[in-house]
Amino acid sequence: MEIKRLSFNLLILFSFIIYTNANAWDCVYSIYVETGNVPSGGTSSNITIFLSDNSKAQLPIVNLKDWGLMGPTHDYFGHGEVDLFAGKGPCLPGPVCSLIIVLDGYDSWYCDFINVTTVGVAQSCSQKHFVVKKWLDVNKGSAVILQDECSDDDDDDDDDSLKKQV
């Protein structure tokens, strides 16, 4: 009995590894970020984003600047500017529909919009335009923003309580 259960667990673990390997680095993400053209809208802080699909699978992109296409010396997130970022990552099962933005630093930022284009080898392209238009304000404790635009067709109680906490 015990052994049976153990091998079942191993099987689950094994198929999980296969699954993640098969999907590793198969998608290319291009991300446009526009910083608001408002006084002090720009920031020197680091920005991390988490992309999610309808199944709530999540792809973290830690420190967007590491994906910056304007070079390491460019001033990213400058007032009124559009910055371009791109990189490879595992494909999410569905198109991106939810975004978490996290500001890590000491000066606030006004994010106008974030555009995410996903291109996968065996997948159709998808594009999502997030109109954010919000301050990530280190002094007001709003340095994290959740922009969830996923449709709610698999609504259950757990999901609801989760949303209320966020």
Ligand X SMILES: *[C@@H]1O[C@H](CO)[C@@H](O)[C@H](O)[C@H]1NC(C)=O
> Which parts of this chain interact with ligand X (CB under 6 A)?
32, 44-46, 63, 82, 104-105, 115, 127, 129
> Which residues, 6 or more positions from 150, have their beta carbon under 8 angstroms from its beta carbon?
52, 53, 54, 97, 98
Least Cβ distance, residue 74 to ligand X (angstroms): 14
Instruction: Count the Cβ atoms, other than its own, within 10 Å of residue 145.
Output: 17
Shortest Å, Cβ 32 to ligand X: 4
CB of 23 or CB of 117, closer to ligand X: 117
CB 77 within 8 A of CB 129: no
What is the nearest approach in angstroms of ligand X to the Cβ of residue 127? 5
Closer CB to ligand X, residue 43 or residue 52? Answer: 43
Smallest distance, Å, CB 125 to ligand X?
11
Q: Which is nearer to ligand X, 28 or 56 (CB)?
A: 28
Please give the Cα distance from 37 to 48 (Å, whole number): 21
14 versus 106: smaller Cβ distance to ligand X: 106
The tokens for 132 are 């954010």
Closer CB to ligand X, 6 or 131, in the complex: 131
Closest distance to ligand X from the beta carbon of 166 (Å)? 24
Among 113, 98, 95, 92, which residue's Cα sits nearest to residue 148?
98
Judged by DSSP in three states, 85 sits in: strand
